[in-house]
Structure 1
Amino acid sequence: MSSSLTLSDVSFTWPDGVPVFERLSLTIGTGRTGLVGTNGSGKSTLLRLLAGRLRATTGSVTAPGELGYLPQNLVLDTDRRVDDVLGVTAVRAAIKAVESGTATEEHFATIGDNWDVEERTRAILDRLGLDAVRLDQRAGELSGGELTLLGLAALLLRRPAALLLDEPTNNLDLRARELVHREVAAWGGILVVVSHDRELLRLVDRIAEVRDHEVTLYGGDLAAYEHAVEVAQEAARRHLRAAESDVKRQKRELIEAGIKLARRARYGQKMWDQKREPKVRMRKRQEDAQIAAGKHRNLHAGRLDDAVEALKAAEDLVREDAEIRVELPETTVPRGTDVLRIDAVPRFGPPVNLHVMGPERIALVGPNGSGKTTLLRTITGELPPKSGEAELFVPARLLPQRLDILDDTLSIVDNVRLVAPSLTDNEIRARLARFLFRGTTADREVASLSGGERFRAALATLLLTEPTPRLLLLDEPTNNLDLASVRRLTEALRAYRGALIVASHDRPFLKDIGVTRWLEL
C-alpha cells in the first residue's frame, strides 16, 4: 500500500469542455499540506479528485488507504441523529445488545475492536467543543458551525489514512477555529487542507499552489511560501525589465542597420550612374551587396524575433494579480466628528452602548450567535431595536455576508447606475476599472460572476452609492475569499478614509486593516 497520495498523468475536463488539469502528476506524502490558489483555480476540484468524488478524465489517483473528506459546504439531512452522522449507530446498538444478553455473532462482528466507541466518541466531541451535543440529538438542532465540527469529528473517529479538508474554518467563530487549528496541528498522517485562513496555513509543513492548471509545491508554511513567491517574482520582474531593454535595443539596431544599408545602396547607385568601373564588375558588386544586405537584415530581424519571444516568456513569469484601488477622498471623516451613537438592546444579543467618533476602525468579535449581524443591521436601521436607539450622523452602508445587495439579472454597470444616478456611463466605467472591471467585463451579468468577482462588484456598488458612505459596515467580508482577494480587500480598506465596523473571525485581516478598537459581544 502506498504511503502517499499520488496523481499520475491526471487530466480533468468539465462536461462543458472547460479543462482544469492536463497531465498533472503530484505526490503528497505524510505531513500537513496547505492547498492555495485564486478562486476558480481548481483547489476544490483537486481535493475531490484526491478524495475519489470526481473521476479523472485520464490518468490515475492512488491513495494509501481510507480517506476522510470534509467538503466545503457540508449538507446533512436534518432528521439524522448525531450518532448516525458519526457512523457509530450500529456499533452502539450491538454493544447494547451484548450488555442486555441478547447478542449474536453478527453483533460481535459489528463491534470488532470498537468496544470503547462510546468513550472515544464522547472524547472527540468534547475535544471539538461539542460537549453539549447529545448522540441522540437531531442534526437539524445544531448550528452551521457545529455541523462542520460534527463532520470533522466523524472523520477523526474513522482514523483515516489521509484527511482532506475543504475550507474547514469557514463560518466558524474564533473558539471553533482554534479547535480546528489544534486538530490540524496534532494530525500525524497525511493531511491536505484547502484554506484561506492565514492562521491555519501557518501550521502546515508545505504549500501546494494551484495556478494555470498546474500545481507547484513549496516547502514550509504560508510565510515561507509568500517569501519564496516574492523572491521569484522579483527575479521575474528583473528578467522582464532586461527583456524589455533587449527588445528596444534590437529594434534600434534593426533601424540603424536599415539606415546603413540604405546609405550603401545609394552609394552603389551613384557608382553605377557614374560608370567608374566596368558593368560586369559593378553588377557583381551590386549582387554581392544585395546578398550581404539581405543576410544583415535577416540577422537583425532574427535577433529582434528572439528578443520578442524572450520578452513573452519573461511576461509569463510575472504574475498579473492586479490590486483594486479605492480613491474616494470625499469619504474622509475628520477626527472628533460624531459618526454613530447607539444605546440600545438589539432584537437578538446583548445591550450595546457605543459611541464612534472620527475615522475609527472597530472590530466586532464574538462567538457565532452572539448578535454581531443583528447589531450591524440595527445600526443601519434595517432591524429596529427592542429598546433604545441607534443614531447615525454620517451616511452608512452595510456589506452583508451573503452579498445580496446586487440584482443578479442586471450587469455590474446597471447595478451601480441604480445607486449612483448622477454618474455618467463613462464615470461609472472609470470607477469600476479601479475594481478590476474593465471594458466589456463591466457589462457581465452579476449571476455569471465568481465568488471573488461578486465580492468586488458588491464592494464597488456599495462604495459608489450616493451619498458616499462615511461609515462602512462589513459582515464577515473574508469568508470564501482566496488569499489574493483578501489582500486586495485589505489594500482597499487601507485606502478608505471613513469609519469602519467589521464583524470578523479573521484576526490577521483585522490587524492588517488597522483596527483601533475591539468590541466583543
Structure 2
Amino acid sequence: MAHPTPTSVLCTDLGFEWPDGATVLDGFHLAVGAGRTGLIGLNGAGKSTLLRLIAGELTPTRGAVRVGGELGYLPQGLTLDTTLRVDEALGIRAAREALHAIEAGDTDGRHYDAIGDDWDVEERARATLDRLGLARLGLDRTTGELSGGEAVLLRLAALLLRRPDVLLLDEPTNNLDLAARERLYETVASWGGVMVIVSHDRELLQYVDQIADLRGGAVTWYGGNFADYERTVAAQQETAQRLVRTAEADVHRQKRDLVEARTRQERSASYGKKRSVTRNDPKIFAGKLKSQGQETTGRLQTMHTERLDEARQRLTVAEEAIRDDAEIRIDLPRTAVPAGRTVLTLDRVRLPHGVSADLEVRGAERIALVGRNGSGKSTLLRAVAGELTPLAGEITTPVPLRHLPQRLDLLDDTLSVVGNVKAFAPGAGDNAIRARLARFLFRGARAEQLAATLSGGERFRATLAALLLADPPPQLLLLDEPTNNLDLASVRQLTQALAAYEGALIVASHDLPFLRGLGITRWLELDGTLRTAEPM
C-alpha cells in the first residue's frame, strides 16, 4: 500500500465547467490531510462534482488535482451490473480462482502473480461482508437481487478490501436501513486513513474530525464534528446579526445628522441674507459672507456624506456575514381528502421476492413505510404507482397519485429543467412553469440547465417540481427515500411542506428525524408481509 503524503488531497487553482458553459468551480483551492473530513454545502455548491474531479472521473477545465496514495471512491446514485458475481463486484475473482487452482495442485506461476501477497483474500472478504451486514451473500452469487442499500454496502466492501489511503464517500447512507447505517458509522469511526464524506446525515457527520463548508466557490474550515460546527456557526451568526443591527442604527443616525446639518445651514443662510438686507451691507461684503457660508455648508455636507458612506459600507460588510441559505419553497396543491374517503386498497397482493400485502388507506393518512434493505419497500411503491404488475391480488387507487422514485430517473437528461416540467404538464403556460421553478430555486438561466448536469439535490428539486405541476394534482403522494440527496436546509423545508400537505402520504425512508417531523399517523413495516409497527 502506498504511503500518503502529509497533504493527501491537493487542488490548486481548480476550475471546472459543464459543456453548456455552466461554471461549478473557478480558481478553487483545497488541501486535505489526515483524518475524516465532512464536506457540506447547499445543493448545487459543487460537492459531488469536486469528489468526481478528485477521483479522476471528471477532467478539470484548468488547474490540477494531486492525490497522495491509492484512492477509493464511493459515488452517489450507485448502480451495479446485475450479472456480476459477488466476488467480481469485490474485485477478487481472479485472486480467488488462482488460489483455488493452487489448492488443487496447479503450480502455474500466473496464479501466484494473481494472488501476490493477498493469500487471505477470501477470509478478509467474508469478514468485511459480515462487518457490513452482508454475510448472507455468498461470493459465488450474482448481484441481481441486491437492493439499492445492499449495492452501496457491497461497493464499500470492495473499497475496504483494497485498503486505500484516501477514501471518498458521496452520500454513503442513501438507501441504507437503520442497521446498515449503524455498521457504516462504525466503519467511519474506525477509519485510520484520509476520508472525505459528502453527506446530509447529521448522525454520520458526528464521526468526522473537521467540517469543510463549501459555499461561494470556496471552503471554510471548522474543527470538530457537525455539532461543533453548528455551535460555531450559530455564535458567528449571532455576532453577525448584532453587527448588522449596530450598522443599521449607525446608517440611520448618519442620515439624520446629514439632514439636520443641511437644515441648519439652510436656516443660517436664510438668516444671514435677511440680516444683510436689513443692515444694508455692501454687496461685496454680502457676497463674501455668502461665499463663506456656502464653503462651510459644503464642508459639513461632505463630512456627513462621507460618514454616511462609511456607515453604509460597514452595513454591507456586516450583511455579507449573514448566511443566505436559499431554501426550496414547496407550495403543494390543495388536495384535501375527506376523512372517510378510500384512497388506496391492496387486496391480497403478492409481489416479486416474496412480498405480500393487504392494506386500506382512508382520508389524509400519513404512513411511514419502514423495513430493512431488500424488504421490498420500493417494489411495493412501484406496484401502487402502476409501474409494476402484481403476481396476484388487486391494487385500487381511486384518486390521482404521484410517485417520486428513489433513483430519480424520471427526467430526460437531454432536456432542460423547463423542458422536463413541460413534458409532465403540456397544458401549463411558460410563465406558470417558471414561477413554480423559481420556488425550487431554478431561476433565470438555471431553469434552462440540462438535466444531465444537475447535482443530486437539484435533480430532486426538478423532479418534485415536475410531479407537483402535473395535471391532475396528486391526492396521494408516494415518496421513496426523498431526503437522500437534499442538503440540511432543504430537508427542513421539505418537512414543513409535507407537514402542511392535505392529501394522503406514504413515505419509505430510513431517516427517522424526517419521518417524525411529518406527523405520521401509522407506521407500517415490510418484512415479507406488511404489518403495523410501533412508532419509532
Q: Is the structural similarity TM-score above 0.5?
A: yes
Cross-structure match for 2:302:
298
Of 14, 17, 21, which residue of structure 1 is paired with 2:16?
14
Verify the 8 A CA contact 1:409 1:446 in the aligned structure 2: yes
- Aligned-partner SS, 2:207: coil
Instruction: Report the CA distance between 1:496 and its aligned residue.
Output: 1.4
The share of aligned pairs that are identical, in percent, is 55
- Could you give the per-residue CA deviations for residues 198-245 of structure 1, whole angstroms, max 9, x where no partner exists? 332233333221111222222333333233333322332333333333
Give the letter for the 1:133 counterpart.
Answer: L
Of 150, 165, 174, which residue of structure 1 is paired with 2:169?
165
Q: How does 1:90-109 map to 2 (within 5 A)?
A: 91-92=95-96, 95-96=99-100, 99=103, 103=107
Verify the 8 A CA contact 1:35 1:194 in the aligned structure 2: yes
2:373 pairs with 1:371 = no
Cross-structure match for 1:312:
316
Cross-structure match for 1:233:
237
- Aligned-partner SS, 2:173: coil
- Could you give the per-residue CA deviations for residues 145-173 of structure 1, whole angstroms, max 9, x where no partner exists? 44432332222223233322222233344
Aligned residue pairs total 518
C-alpha distance in 2, partners of 1:81/1:445? 35
C-alpha distance in 1, partners of 2:86/2:379? 29
C-alpha distance in 2, partners of 1:477/1:271? 80
C-alpha distance in 1, partners of 2:301/2:115? 84
Cross-structure match for 1:494:
499
Verify the 8 A CA contact 1:362 1:502 in the aligned structure 2: yes
Instruction: Report the CA distance between 1:381 and its aligned residue.
Output: 4.3
C-alpha distance in 2, partners of 1:409/1:48? 23
RMSD: 3.8
- Aligned-partner SS, 1:515: coil
> Structure 2: which 5+ residue stretches go unaligned?
527-536
- Aligned-partner SS, 1:351: strand
- Could you give the per-residue CA deviations for residues 51-72 of structure 1, whole angstroms, max 9, x where no partner exists? 5666774477463x43333233
Q: How does 1:422-433 map to 2 (within 5 A)?
A: 433=438
Instruction: Report the CA distance between 1:384 and its aligned residue.
Output: 4.5
Q: How does 1:249-398 map to 2 (within 5 A)?
A: 249-271=253-275, 273=277, 276-327=280-331, 330-335=334-339, 337-348=341-352, 349-392=354-397, 394-398=399-403
C-alpha distance in 2, partners of 1:374/1:160? 35
- Aligned-partner SS, 1:168: coil
Q: Structure 1 pair 328/18, CA: closer, same or farther in 2 (3 Å)?
A: closer
Of 252, 260, 264, which residue of structure 2 is paired with 1:248?
252
Instruction: Report the CA distance between 1:465 and its aligned residue.
Output: 4.2
C-alpha distance in 2, partners of 1:2/1:498? 54
TM-score (norm 2): 0.81
Give the letter for the 1:10 counterpart.
Answer: T
C-alpha distance in 2, partners of 1:329/1:142? 36
Instruction: Report the CA distance between 1:114 and its aligned residue.
Output: 3.2
Give the letter for the 1:372 counterpart.
Answer: K
- Could you give the per-residue CA deviations for residues 103-134 of structure 1, whole angstroms, max 9, x where no partner exists? 47886676564332322222112222333434
TM-score (norm 1): 0.84
C-alpha distance in 2, partners of 1:467/1:9? 48
2:481 pairs with 1:479 = no
- Aligned-partner SS, 1:230: helix
Instruction: Report the CA distance between 1:269 and its aligned residue.
Output: 3.9
Verify the 8 A CA contact 1:9 1:22 in the aligned structure 2: no
Instruction: Report the CA distance between 1:502 and its aligned residue.
Output: 0.7
Moved more, 135-144 or 146-155: 135-144
Instruction: Report the CA distance between 1:362 and its aligned residue.
Output: 0.8
Give the letter for the 2:203 counterpart.
Answer: E
- Could you give the per-residue CA deviations for residues 64-107 of structure 1, whole angstroms, max 9, x where no partner exists? x4333323355666676544554445544554565456647886
Q: Structure 1 pair 369/84, CA: closer, same or farther in 2 (3 Å)?
A: closer
Verify the 8 A CA contact 2:28 2:217 in the aligned structure 1: no
Moved more, 493-502 or 322-331: 322-331
Give the letter for the 1:398 counterpart.
Answer: H
Give the letter for the 2:125 counterpart.
Answer: T
